[in-house]
Chains A and B, each alone.
Chain A
Amino acid sequence: MMLSGTVEKSEIVPIANSSDVVIVRQRVRALATELKFSLVDQTKIVTAASELGRNTLEHGGGGSLELALVVNGVRRGIRLRFSDQGPGIPDIAQALKDGFTTGSGMGLGLGGSKRLVNEFEINTRPGDGTVVIAIRWK
């Protein structure tokens, strides 16, 4: 299932350590500012990127983000595509249900990130890595 939109421009951000997650936040914020997202929408997409970026690092053992400006007709949006070669997610339905508990939350926070964006897709297979795509439209 392809997510809608043609790519107008994109960049790759490698995710190999925790400082890279900071760079992910900065790059996403830069693009959101360029597209003149509202402050709340900016915060949402940057936070989602931070969550998903951290997952890629911690759960996936490192990977990368393809950050793209997508266009669908006259709508413009930000597309995040996180990929890693890690162990994959065995039960997506469960992972999406995982909420956070303060203190000892073990959830991957996928359900939360999903709520912060408009379109969300996970492609994963145990042992075969994970690709998470999220789009926030303006």
Chain B
Amino acid sequence: MERIPILRMGNYLLVTIQVDMHDKLALTLQDDLTNRISEVNAKGVLIDISSLEIVDSFIGRTLANIASMARVLDAETVVVGMQPAVAITLVELGMSLPGIRTALNVESGMEYLRETVAAHEGSDDAIGDSREV
């Protein structure tokens, strides 16, 4: 069965969606990603959609689901590279994907993830400290 490959870079997972996904493939990606996040204890997920020429409501909801599930597993998600025509169409469709962080490209996406993960680690340490009384 075809799957979308998930790359690992240290604490982060990278997914590049290049094919016109049918619904089953999208759901498989959702499953695979959540499993992988858990397996490697990933802190951040970057989804590159710069090759996607169509994002409809199903794909939109899938991305939102992935972000929510990742958050529950303590990982940040960022979606990068949305094409202008896609953004315009999504807005017209009425989807603004409020729960999803976005960035212009892989570079800025990774920058965001590193900053956010570092910030979390900082606050986690603080909690740890205050418990060691």
Contact = CB atoms under 8 A, between A and B. Distances in A.
A67 interface: no
Given A18-B23, A21-B23, A105-B57, A100 B89 contact: no
B94 A99 contact: yes
Given A21-B22, A103-B99, A43 B86 contact: yes
Contact of B88 (A40, A51, A109, A112): A40
Contacts of A105: 57, 61
A109 B22 contact: no
A43 B56 CA distance: 10
Interface in A88-105: 99-100, 102-103, 105
Contacts of A103: 61, 64-65, 68, 99
Chain A interface helix/strand/loop/mixed = helix
Interface in B1-30: 20-24
A47 B88 contact: no
A111 B92 CA distance: 10
B95 interface: yes
B58 A54 contact: yes
B89 A40 contact: yes
Nearest to B19: A22
Interface in B63-108: 64-65, 68, 84-86, 88-89, 92-100
A25 interface: yes
Interface size classification for chain B: 20 to 34
Interface in A1-56: 18-19, 21-22, 25-26, 39-40, 42-44, 46-47, 50-51, 54
A132 B27 CA distance: 27
Contacts of B96: 102
A138 interface: no
Contacts of A22: 20-22
B125 to A, nearest CB: 31
Contacts of B64: 102-103
B24 A43 contact: no
Contact of B95 (A21, A25, A26, A102): A102
12 contacts: A18-B24, A21-B23, A22-B22, A47-B93, A50-B54, A100-B94, A102-B95, A102-B96, A102-B99, A103-B64, A103-B99, A115-B92
Given A100-B60, A109-B57, 10 more contacts: A25-B20, A43-B85, A44-B89, A46-B54, A47-B93, A51-B56, A102-B60, A112-B94, A112-B95, A115-B92
